[in-house]
Amino acid sequence: MIGKEISEKFYCKPLFVNLLLLVLNLFLLLFKLIVSSLNESLALLADAFNNLTEIVEQETQIQGLK
């Protein structure tokens, strides 16, 4: 039951969820950029740019909700 209550709580606040995901994706982007530059890993750099596209997607969803 607890999982259902939490799910219903956030289901009513899509803007909050999208903002939270935006912040998490920004953190992941910065973390992956730093680690990929230290290790010279192209795979991790590509994954960081994937996070960048997810940030653009989240921003588009936030604008659509407003």
DSSP 12: T
| Domain edges within the chain | 13-65
Out of 1-5, 15-19, 49-53, least confident range: 1-5
Q: Which two tokens stand for residue 9?
A: 């709580």
pLDDT of 42: 95
* Cβ partners under 8 Å of residue 22, min gap 6: 55, 58, 59, 62
Residue range 25-55, pLDDT digits in tens:
999 999 999 999 999 999 999 999 999 999 9
Q: Which two tokens stand for residue 28?
A: 């992941």
Q: Which stretches of 1-66 are DSSP H helices? A: 2-11, 14-39, 42-65
